[in-house]
């Protein structure tokens, strides 16, 4: 029987011996079980120790487990087949033909390892897809909101822009002034949203037994993208307002 590193460390700690000294020893499992001869537990000999392998989702820690190598091919009715993906159809046909020759009453069940792994993270993929969709909608609504409020405030400040033009202000200075105001607002919004986003992402990552650290570079990139998008929208609208004839905006004064 082969045991994984976690099981070896647990058994070694219980017995107070080095991990490597377990090889060759007889270990008793399931002590509550009693056979016909009155012997408790199921004994097995530790033939080797292998490193931990994630056989379940990364949401779960690696548990102690062991693998028993049996001479019987029909130990529990399950077999693992390694095959070339290019010959999938041919391999499946061969398996079904061999199983049909066994005259088994139970139907043949075939599972693919790739599908098993995919199913482990189906909910995470669904959550990621929903988040991407909601984020795209949020970005679109934010862009529309910036355009709307910029146009509204630019119209409200038409006379101010006209006076500044008459007094010699350049189009670039007018655009810079308008852009600076909105970037301040974006900066405040980011300062409020960043801690909330970090908390939510960290809480989600904590659901994994093995997780990565949050990369601050991603938040910096998102912040620069938000600043850039806002500056572009405001600059385009302010540029059009700055090029307008100041005489028209000051005609009523």
Segment 135-176, tens digit of pLDDT: 889 888 888 887 887 777 777 777 777 777 777 777 788 778
- The neighbouring-strand residues paired with 220 are none
The sign of the dihedral angle between the CA atoms of 239, 240, 243, 249 is negative
Confidence at 91, pLDDT banded by 50, 70, 90: very high
* Residue from 230, 239, 223 nearest 181 by CA: 230
Average pLDDT, the chain: 82
Residues 6 or more apart in contact with residue 141 via CB below 8 angstroms: none
Question: For 36-85, how does the pLDDT look when each residue is reduced to its tens digit (9 = 90+)?
Answer: 777 777 788 888 999 988 878 888 888 888 887 766 555 466 778 888 98
Share of the chain above pLDDT 70, in %: 92
User: Residue ranges per domain, the chain?
Assistant: 1-69, 80-117, 121-250
CA 8 vs. chain centroid, Å, equals: 31
* Residue bearing the bigger pLDDT, 56 or 92: 92
Q: pLDDT digit string (tens) for 165-206?
A: 777 777 788 778 878 877 888 888 888 888 888 888 888 888
């Amino acid at each position: 029987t082969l045991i994984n590193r976690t099981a070896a460390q647990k058994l070694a700690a219980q017995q107070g011996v080095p991990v490597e000294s377990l090889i060759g020893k007889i270990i008793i499992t399931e002590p509550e079980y009693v056979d016909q001869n009155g012997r408790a537990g199921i004994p097995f000999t530790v033939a080797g120790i292998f490193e931990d392998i994630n056989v379940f989702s990364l949401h779960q820690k690696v548990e102690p487990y062991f693998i028993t190598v049996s001479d019987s091919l029909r130990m529990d009715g399950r077999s693992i087949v390694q095959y070339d993906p290019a010959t999938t159809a041919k391999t499946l046909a061969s398996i079904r033909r061999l199983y049909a020759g066994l005259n088994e009453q139970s139907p043949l069940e075939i599972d693919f390892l790739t599908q098993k792994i995919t199913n482990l993270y189906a909910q995470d993929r669904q959550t990621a897809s929903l988040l991407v969709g909601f984020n795209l909608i949020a970005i679109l609504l934010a862009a529309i909101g910036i355009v709307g409020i910029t146009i509204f405030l630019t119209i409200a400040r038409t006379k101010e822009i006209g006076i500044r033009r008459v007094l010699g202000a350049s189009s670039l200075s007018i655009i810079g002034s308008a852009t600076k105001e909105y970037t301040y607002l974006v900066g405040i919004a980011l300062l409020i949203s960043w801690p909330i986003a970090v908390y939510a992402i960290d809480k989600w990552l904590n659901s994994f037994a093995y997780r990565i650290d949050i990369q601050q570079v991603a938040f910096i990139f998102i912040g620069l993208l938000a600043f850039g998008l806002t500056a572009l929208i405001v600059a385009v609208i302010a540029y059009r307002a700055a090029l307008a004839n100041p005489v028209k905006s000051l005609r009523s004064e």
